[in-house]
Amino acid sequence: MELFRNTNFDFLGKKGPFILTSIVLLAASVISLVVKGGPRYGIDFKGGTLMYVKFASTPPTAQIRSALSARIPGEISVQNVTSGDNELMIGTEVRDEKQLEKERQAVIQTLAQTLGQTEAGKLDINNTGRDAVADRLRDPLQRAAVPMSESQLRDLVAAIFQYRDSAPRSGLIRSIDELAAVPGVTPAVLPVLKQELTAAPFAIRNVEVVGPKVGAELRWQAIKATLYALAGMLVYLAFRFEWIYGVAAVLAVFHDTVITIGLFSIFNKEISLTVVAALLTLVGYSMNDTIVVFDRIRENLKLMRREKFPALVNASVNQTLSRTVLTSGLTFLTALSLLLFGGPVLHGFSFALVVGIIVGTYSSIFIASPILVYWQERRDRRQRGRLVESAGAKEGARRSSVNTVK
């Protein structure tokens, strides 16, 4: 399928406005990054608290994010851990372990209010420790005339928590009635449990504190991953074509990456691990786009030997234009649909793809190809200069020999 046949657009002749646009975008990106002290990193990179919360049913992610943002100061991230597991990862900016329990309680209260399925005044069995449950049950059991020593009470609570944490519940009891299956929960004990305890439809399974040092290490690993990708592609292109082809392609991809990160800074968007994944995707995608053009240039060097190099490059870009527009256009529409309808979780990832596809497509035409033409013309001028110098030297030697004979 071809959108365009026999096109003859003068891409290299129109490269000026696009190169100027690139210079402006690069300058704006660098200025924004310098003024703001770098990109706006997410909790993955700058550190914070990560809470993994399991839900009894599919959680209303957007509603939870809104409620947490209104309750807890600072940046909040809410992401699905894995599809189908009804588990969210909630991230906050708190890095002080002394504030951790306070933050945890704030999250529990906010989730309870948002989901509205917790009985007020009762102790939540899914988000409470053993000592608190034992203290809560001690007096009610005595008032209910249930004979139980302190050690028996501790054994009962231990059995309840063992039941809660075992599969398939894995830390989440859906109803206090389930506890009837726990050894030691007699018909006299169960009413006391139902009177004093409740089971929230969620449970905080794990809490992690990501320190600044870990965040800095993740940032460095992300940078290294990008640099390794560029270096590997440079070596590949140097072997497949010439080293200047690799340099031109890597410069174009570097241009795409800087502008994409710069636009994240300009629009104050967060860079997370998913955004890094999008950037690495763009590195490969943009490089592939450029290789298609370069491969056609290499083929045309054999077929169009009499053409000047700029005309040959322009013809190669025109010949691959249909493929470039189709591939980039379809990918762009997919990324745009994610940006518009994918929700906040995919917003950063899809924004990076949308921006990167646009910038990467025009850079393969208006950045990589002009760099190649500039280098080839520069090399041709040097060769002509050497030929002129060589001819001049020979002529000088000839005249010198003639004068000697005379």
Angle at 10 between CA 4 and CA 11, to 5 degrees: 85
Question: What are the two backbone dihedrals, phi and then psi, of residue 40, each rounded to the nearest 5 degrees?
Answer: -85, 100
User: What's the pLDDT score for residue 353?
Assistant: 93
What CA–CA distance (Å, rounded) separates 63 from 59?
9
**Cα–Cα distance for residue pair 183/296, rounded to 1 Å:** 75
Number of helical H runs and strand E runs in the chain: 14, 8
Q: What angle do CA 314, 316, 321 make, to 5 degrees?
A: 95
Asked, for residue 2, whether it belongs to a domain, the answer is no
Give exposure, 55-69, as e/b (b: 16+ Cβ within 10 Å): bbeebebeebbebbe
Q: How much is the pLDDT for 135?
A: 92
Which of 283, 260, 345 lies closest to 65, judged by CA?
Answer: 345
Give the number of other CB atoms < 10 A from CB of residue 333.
Answer: 12
Average pLDDT, the chain: 84
The first and second tokens of residue 255, run together, are 């241009």
Residue 291 lies in domain: 15-41+211-385
Instruction: Say if residue 311 is in the same domain as residue 335.
Output: yes
**Max Cα distance, the chain (Å):** 137
CA–CA gap between residue 226 and residue 93 (Å, rounded): 26
Tokens 């940046």 found at: 75
Alpha-carbon distance values, 312 to 8, 11, 360 (Å): 11, 12, 22
Dihedral sign, Cα of residue 330, residue 28, residue 349, residue 317: positive
What is d(CA 126, CA 112) in angstroms, rounded to the nearest whole number? Answer: 12
Q: Which tokens go with 111?
A: 């989730």
pLDDT of residue 277: 87
Percent of the residues in the chain that have a pLDDT greater than 70, as a whole number: 91
Mean pLDDT of 142-152: 87
Pick the last residue of a domain from 176, 209, 242.
209
Instruction: Check whether residue 243 and residue 161 sit in a common domain.
Output: no
Of 209, 234, 253, which one is at a domain's C-terminal end? Answer: 209
pLDDT band at residue 203 under the 50/70/90 scheme: very high
- 250 and 182 in a common domain: no
303 pLDDT band, cuts 50/70/90, is: confident
Average pLDDT over residues 9-35: 89
Q: What is the CATH number of the domain that holds 249?
A: 1.20.1640.10
What is the DSSP-derived secondary structure letter of residue 303? H
- Within this chain, do residues 87 and 200 fall inside the same structural domain, yes or no? yes
Position 401 scores a pLDDT of 61
Select the more confidently predicted residue: 30 or 4: 30
What distance in Å separates the CA atoms of residue 199 and residue 202, rounded to the nearest whole number?
8
341/401: higher pLDDT: 341
Quote the pLDDT of residue 14. 79
Task: Count CA within 13 A, CB hemisphere, residue 58.
Answer: 3
* Token digits of residue 334: 């997919």
Inside any domain, residue 65: yes
φ/ψ (deg, to 5) at 41: -80, 150
Q: Is the pLDDT of residue 393 over 80?
A: no
Paired sense of beta strands 87-92 and 48-55, if any: antiparallel
Query: Are residues 232 and 170 both part of a single domain?
Result: no
Specify if 393 maps to a domain.
no
Q: Could you give the number of structural domains in the chain?
A: 2
Q: What region does 86 belong to: left with phi over 0, alpha with psi -120 to 50, or beta?
A: left
Mean pLDDT within 253-263: 92
Is residue 154, in this structure, part of any structural domain at all? yes
Task: Report DSSP letters for 209-260, one per residue.
Answer: EE-HHHHHHHHHHHHHHHHHHHHHHHHHHHHHS-HHHHHHHHHHHHHHHHHH
Number of residues that make up the chain: 406
Residue 286: both structure tokens together = 């943009």
Clarify whether residues 231 and 96 are in a common domain: no
For residues 197 and 98, membership in a common domain is answered with: yes
pLDDT of 395 > 70? The answer is no
103 close to 94: Cβ distance less than 8 angstroms: yes
User: What burial class does residue 369 get, using C-beta atoms within 10 Å of its C-beta: 0-12 exposed, 13-18 middle, 19+ buried?
Assistant: buried
End-to-end alpha-carbon separation of the chain, Å? Answer: 75
Band of the pLDDT at 193, cuts 50, 70, 90? Answer: very high
The amino acid sitting at 53 is: V
On whether both 245 and 316 belong to a single domain, the answer is yes
For residues 174-189, give the mean pLDDT.
Answer: 91
Query: From CA 215, how far away is CA 45, in angstroms rounded?
Result: 4
pLDDT at 264 over 90: yes
pLDDT on residue 288: 85
Residue-level pLDDT at 4:
61
Same domain, 308 and 243: yes
Domain boundary at 209, 237, 264, which?
209
User: Which single residue is written with the structure tokens 């891409």?
Assistant: 11
Q: Are residues 246 and 314 in the same domain?
A: yes
Are the C-beta atoms of 72 and 106 separated by less than 8 Å? yes
pLDDT at 46 over 60: yes
Please check whether residue 398 lies inside any domain of the structure.
Answer: no
Most confident of 28-32, 81-85, 237-241, 370-374: 28-32
In this structure, are 227 and 201 located in the same domain? no
> Is 392 part of a structural domain of the chain?
no
- Answer yes or no: do 229 and 317 share one domain: yes
- Bridge-based pairing of strands 48-55 and 40-41 is unpaired
Q: Which residues pair with 206 in a beta bridge?
A: 52
Determine, yes or no, domain membership for 396: no
Residue 243 within any structural domain of the chain:
yes
